[in-house]
Amino acid sequence: MAERKSAKAAAGSSSQNGSDVPLQEFPMPKTELVQKFHVLYLGVTSVSRPIGMDIINGAIDNLVSSTGKEDWIPVILSIADTTVAVIKEKEEEEEVLVECRVRFLSFMGVGRDVHSFAFIMDTGNQHFQCHVFWCDPNAGNVSEAVQAACVLRYQKCLVARPPSQRAGSSSSPSSDSVTRRVTTSVKRSVQSLIDTLKPKKQPSELPQQ
């Protein structure tokens, strides 16, 4: 109690000495965590639906069968809570091949091969594109990074909405419906990754000492 009284007294004296600084909550710094992964970019293909592991696997199979490994592009996959960028390294500067807004990412998943990873972007007007990557040693870390970006983006959308809209209104669609949908999709994809990795841990497949 004595410490609180002395703190209040000090605050009162500082305001009377001409250095009036209104007490307020300062905004959080607008910084974002960026994770970068060295992967191979197989390319992009149009898909018929915005969600579904069957769509993801179909896109991966399509690009794997239609391209050779020599055609896969070594890139940096830069993942932040606002954008996912595919960057090609050059001697003098970097070239951004693809830049996707996280809010329009509708689905992601690890393919049947644990090295393969893909995500689907909603480009508007019922058009959807699937970007496919090959990751070493597996796509687990990349998948988790994209999941974290989607969840963080969804949380920021909730905080940015007015209190009247946070309670939810059935009469008007929410502006972050795509982000909310991908949060559920991401959880399914991560569970799919876990299920896929389980058979890899059979005793017969463990490296011999």
Which residue's entry shows tokens 């500082």?
14
SS (H, E, C) the chain: CHHHHHHHHHHHHHHHCCCCCCCCCCCCCCCCCCEEEEEEEEEEEEECCCCCHHHHHHHHHHHHHHCCHHHCEEEEEEECCCEEEEEECCCCCCEEEEEEEHHHEEEEEECCCCCEEEEEEEEECCEEEEEEEECCCCCHHHHHHHHHHHHHHHHHHHHHCCHHHHCCCCCCCCCCHHHHHHHHHHHHHHHHHHHHHHHHHCHHHCCCC
Q: What is the pLDDT of residue 181?
A: 55
What is the reported pLDDT for 198? 56
* pLDDT, position 151: 87
Structural domains present in the chain = 35-159 (2.30.29.30)
Whether the Cβ atoms of residue 134 and residue 160 lie closer than 8 Å to each other: no
pLDDT at 208: 53
Nearest to 43 by CA among 23, 7, 69: 69
Tens of pLDDT, residue by residue, the chain (209 residues): 555 555 555 555 544 444 444 444 444 444 568 999 999 999 999 999 999 999 999 999 999 999 999 999 999 999 998 999 999 987 778 899 999 999 899 999 999 999 999 999 999 999 999 999 999 999 999 999 999 888 887 777 666 666 655 555 443 344 445 545 555 555 555 555 555 555 554 544 455 54
pLDDT of residue 79: 94
